[in-house]
Amino acid sequence: MSELVLSYNDRPRQYGFGTKLFFLYFLNVADWFCTQTLIDTGRFREANPIMAPMMEYPIVSFFVKCMLPLALSIIIWLFYKIFKLEQNKFTNFIIYTGVIIYTAVILVHIVNFTILYTT
């Protein structure tokens, strides 16, 4: 029961660990892109006080928010593959929590883009 199961044509569809990890990474990159775009308008600022100084330098923010998480995601995925680890409730909880948080952040970005382009 630790797998996400969606029904398609009466066949259950299960998403593997790598797919879930990639989706989490994709949301992370979307967050970086939206944040950087909004900051570049001059009307928004980074809400995270740890990331705020880094967002002033797009190359640094790209490395910290995109390249470093990509490397970590690949290492984690390889670790799971090499040692033939099974997904468990804890790993799924961590991934799903990250997806929920990043989805909320992306929704805030959508609201901010709406504000930006309607005012």
The whole-number pLDDT of residue 59 equals: 95
Residue 84: which domain range? 16-118
With 0-12 CB in 10 A as exposed, 13-18 as middle and 19+ as buried, what is 18? middle
Task: Please list the residues that pair with 12 across neighbouring strands.
Answer: 7
Burial bucket for residue 65 (CB in 10 Å: 0-12, 13-18, 19+) = buried
Determine, yes or no, domain membership for 76.
yes
Q: What is the pLDDT of residue 14?
A: 78
Residues of the chain with pLDDT under 50: none
Model pLDDT, residue 53: 96
Q: Answer whether residue 22 is part of any domain.
A: yes
User: In the chain, how many domains are there?
Assistant: 1
**Residue 79 domain-assigned (yes or no):** yes
In a domain, 67, yes or no: yes
Place of tokens 């005012």: 119
> Residue written as tokens 């308008």?
41
**Amino acid 104: pLDDT:** 97
Residue 9: per-residue pLDDT: 63
What is the reported pTM? 0.85
The pLDDT of residue 4: 59
Is residue 77 classed as helix, strand or coil in its secondary structure?
helix
Does residue 108 belong to any structural domain of this protein?
yes
Q: Is 5 inside any structural domain?
A: no
List 5's β-bridge partners, or say none: 14
In a domain, 2, yes or no: no
Is 1 among the domain residues?
no
